[in-house]
């Protein structure tokens, strides 16, 4: 019965998505925005960054390349609060307009509460708006259209970008860092680097050092940063495994364990710390994004889930291990960084894109001892820290064999059962 239910859920979702694509394609065939004949040399550009933390970090190479392409242009951002944190100290931005009422996701991304801000931006009369690869839904191109720029650059995926006047071809085989750089290429630029970055300054570094000293850090010890949270429950690991990993890293490598995260993640972090036998430091809710980047730049290792801080660690040049669920495509978030190991398994339900999952077989397969081995590899081997990013394809343990036997439909059905919050 569960297998049938899972199959029906998947089929219904696929039909709904296909119907939307056909609708947008049909509407776009009738009404497709046309690019003006004038060459694209804007004096003012508004970049939409109405997404989450990691999505914003992977756009930073494109922002840098846009500044190189248009050195004299005014480049402003329309950003969520999380995105504004990523760019708050960037030298490539003139002004950030924060869309405080816009929350990424189907339920939070509503245009009506943002209309007063859209009217303000419309009065500026930007020459060009730019929408990135993560902003594929129709609502993003609609926001760009409402702002009124004559040139609107963005992707047209599934017919949803017909309001853009310059439509960037979508390369399905490209990671999203490089796909975003196609924006620069289509407007005549030549990106020189795919390096992500999150700007911070000396004050941020000093603040972090003071926090570490206050927490009991011995400067003779290396720092290992753990980020245990995720915006989706399906991407979270288990508190007892985090505790085991943290204790082992502290003991084996004489490291200070520092937990990073938002204030909302502090309760889960305290649950992990309570299960540990060694002391640790929690900076959850204490540091902002530039300070987190400064912390990662000081650390010998970062270990985290597939979430925004993982991208910040990479942008900061910190070797890192990613404990990744199988609900997303691994290659989508590939990047330039060295010393990156992505750990994940491949159960039948891989690529489910579910925010909540009751069984989380993909995360259950990632056992603490194997994660510890990859962490020790990065901490102990300079060659590993300098190596190109790689994946550790973790086999499904025999103990999970009966679960795997349920197949994709059965696992999808079980995923909709009541789930633990973490």
Query: Could you please report the per-residue DSSP string of 12-77?
Result: HHHHHHHHHHHHHHHHHHHS-----SS-S--SEEEEEE-S-HHHHHTTHHHHHHHHHHSTTSEEEE
- Distance CA(376)–CA(253), nearest Å, equals 8
The answer on pLDDT for 3 being more than 70 is no
Q: Is the pLDDT of residue 247 over 80?
A: yes
Mean pLDDT, the chain, integer = 89
The pLDDT > 70 percentage for the chain reads 87
Is 22 a residue whose pLDDT tops 70?
Answer: no
Question: Tokens in use for 14?
Answer: 């696929």
- What would the two tokens of residue 64 be? 């840098």
pLDDT band, residue 40 (cuts 50/70/90): confident
Token pair listed for 231? 């915006």
pLDDT given for residue 421 in this prediction:
42
Q: Which residues contact 60 (CB under 8 A, 6 or more apart)?
A: 86, 87, 90, 196, 197, 198, 315
Which residue bears the tokens 């991304």?
Answer: 109
Kindly state whether residue 3 falls inside one of the protein's structural domains: no
pLDDT digits (tens, 9 = 90+) for 264-282: 999 999 999 999 999 999 9
Shared domain for 176 and 220, answered yes or no, is no
Give the span between the Cα atoms of 374 and 362, in whole angstroms.
18
Q: Identify the residue with better confidence: 226 or 220.
A: 226
User: What is the arithmetic mean of pLDDT over 238-242?
Assistant: 97
Residue of 365, 358, 290, 296 lying closest to 325 (CA atoms)? 365
**Position 164 in a domain:** yes
Backbone angles phi, psi at 53, to 5 degrees: -60, -55
Q: Extract the tokens encoding 306.
A: 């597939």
Segments forming the whole domain that contains residue 337: 202-415
Question: Is the per-residue pLDDT at 343 higher than 50?
Answer: yes
> Are 58 and 179 members of one domain?
yes
Measure the CA–CA gap between 388 and 378, rounded to whole angstroms. 12
pLDDT of residue 72: 96
- Whole-number Å distance between alpha carbons of 168 and 133: 9
Give the pLDDT of residue 32: 62
Asked if residue 225 lies in contact with residue 318, where contact means CB atoms within 8 angstroms, the answer is: yes
pLDDT category at 21 given cuts 50, 70, 90 is low
The model's pLDDT over 288-342, given as tens digits with 9 standing for 90+, comes to: 999 999 999 999 999 999 999 999 999 999 999 999 999 877 767 666 678 999 9
Q: Is residue 7 part of a domain?
A: no
Nearest to 422 by CA among 208, 313, 268, 307: 268
What's the pLDDT at 231?
85
Question: Does any domain span residue 58?
Answer: yes
337 or 125: which carries more pLDDT confidence?
125
Measured at the CA of 89, the angle between CA 84 and CA 94, to 5 degrees, comes to 75
Whether residue 85 lies inside any domain: the answer is: yes
Least confident of 73-77, 157-161, 216-220, 335-339: 335-339
Q: Are residues 93 and 229 in the same domain?
A: no
The reply to whether 5 falls in a domain is no
Whose CA is closest to 79, among 47, 108, 50, 107? Answer: 50
pLDDT at 276: 98
Higher pLDDT, 26 or 137: 137
In the prediction, which pLDDT does 174 show? 87
367 and 288 within one domain: yes
Identify the band that residue 20 occupies on the pLDDT scale cut at 50, 70 and 90. Answer: low
pLDDT for 1 beyond 90: no
In the predicted structure, residue 372 carries a pLDDT above the cut 90: yes
Q: Is the pLDDT of residue 159 over 90?
A: no
On whether residue 95 sits in a domain, the answer given is: yes
Q: Give 34's pLDDT tier (boundaries 50, 70, 90).
A: low
Q: Are residues 243 and 336 in the same domain?
A: yes
Check if the beta carbon of residue 416 is closer than 8 Å to that of residue 410.
no
Q: Report residue 224's pLDDT band, with 50, 70 and 90 as the boundaries.
A: very high
Based on the domain organization, do 233 and 301 belong to the same domain? yes
What total number of domains does the chain contain? 2
Residue 284 resides in a domain: yes
152, 186, 220 — which closes off a domain? 186
Q: Contact, 299 vs 320, CB < 8 A?
A: no
What are the C-alpha distances in Å from 368 to residues 66, 238, 307, 374? 42, 10, 19, 10
Q: Tell me: the pLDDT tens digits for 74-91?
A: 999 999 999 999 999 999
Pair 119, 231 in one domain: no
140 and 34 within one domain: yes
DSSP state of 419: -
Compute the distance between CA of residue 312 and CA of residue 293 in angstroms, rounded to an integer. 6
Give the span between the Cα atoms of 422 and 420, in whole angstroms: 5
Of 410 and 291, which is predicted with more confidence?
291
- Alpha-carbon distance of 125 to 138, in angstroms, equals 22
Residue 31, pLDDT score? 60
Q: Are residues 230 and 350 in the same domain?
A: yes
At 422 the pLDDT is 41
CA distance from start to end of the chain: 27
Residue 272 and residue 139 share a domain: no
158: its two tokens: 């599934």
Q: What is the CATH number of the domain that holds 228?
A: 3.40.50.2000
Tell me how long the chain is. 422
């Amino acid at each position: 019965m569960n297998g049938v239910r899972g199959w029906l859920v998947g089929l219904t979702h696929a039909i709904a998505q296909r119907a939307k694509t056909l609708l947008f394609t049909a509407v776009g065939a009738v009404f497709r925005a046309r690019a003006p004949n004038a060459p694209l040399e804007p004096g003012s550009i508004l970049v939409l960054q109405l997404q989450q933390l990691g999505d914003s970090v992977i756009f930073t190479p494109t922002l840098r390349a846009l500044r190189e392409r248009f050195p004299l242009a005014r480049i402003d951002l329309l950003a969520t609060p999380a995105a504004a944190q990523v760019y708050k100290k960037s030298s490539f931005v003139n002004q950030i307009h924060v869309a405080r009422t816009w929350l990424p996701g189907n339920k939070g991304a509503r245009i009506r509460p943002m209309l007063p801000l859209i009217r303000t931006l419309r009065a500026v009369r930007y020459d060009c708006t730019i929408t990135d690869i993560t902003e594929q839904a129709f609502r993003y191109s609609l926001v760009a259209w409402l702002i009124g720029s004559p040139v609107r650059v963005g992707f047209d995926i599934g017919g949803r970008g017909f309001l853009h006047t310059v439509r960037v071809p979508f390369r399905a085989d490209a990671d999203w860092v490089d796909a975003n750089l196609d924006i620069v290429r289509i407007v005549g630029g030549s990106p020189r680097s795919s390096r992500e970055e999150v700007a911070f300054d000396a004050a941020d570094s000093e603040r972090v050092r003071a926090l570490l000293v206050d927490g009991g850090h011995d400067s003779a010890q290396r720092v290992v940063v753990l980020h245990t949270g995720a915006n989706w429950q399906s991407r979270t690991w288990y508190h007892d495994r985090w505790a085991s990993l943290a204790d082992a890293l502290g003991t084996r490598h004489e490291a200070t364990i520092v937990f990073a995260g938002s204030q909302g993640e502090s309760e889960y972090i305290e649950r992990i710390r309570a299960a540990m036998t060694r002391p640790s430091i929690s900076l959850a809710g204490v540091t902002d994004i530039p300070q987190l980047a400064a912390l990662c730049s000081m650390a010998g290792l970062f270990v985290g889930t597939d979430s925004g801080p993982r991208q910040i660690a990479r942008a900061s040049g910190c070797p890192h291990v990613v404990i990744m669920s199988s609900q997303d495509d691994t290659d989508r978030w590939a990047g330039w960084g060295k010393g990156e190991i992505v750990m994940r398994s491949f159960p039948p339900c891989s690529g489910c894109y579910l925010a909540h999952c009751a069984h989380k077989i993909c995360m259950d397969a990632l056992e603490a001892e194997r994660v510890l081995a990859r962490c020790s590899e990065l901490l102990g081997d300079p060659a590993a820290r300098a190596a190109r990013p790689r994946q550790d394809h973790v086999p499904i343990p025999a103990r999970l064999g009966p679960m795997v036997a349920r197949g994709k439909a059965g696992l999808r059905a079980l995923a909709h059962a009541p789930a633990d919050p973490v």
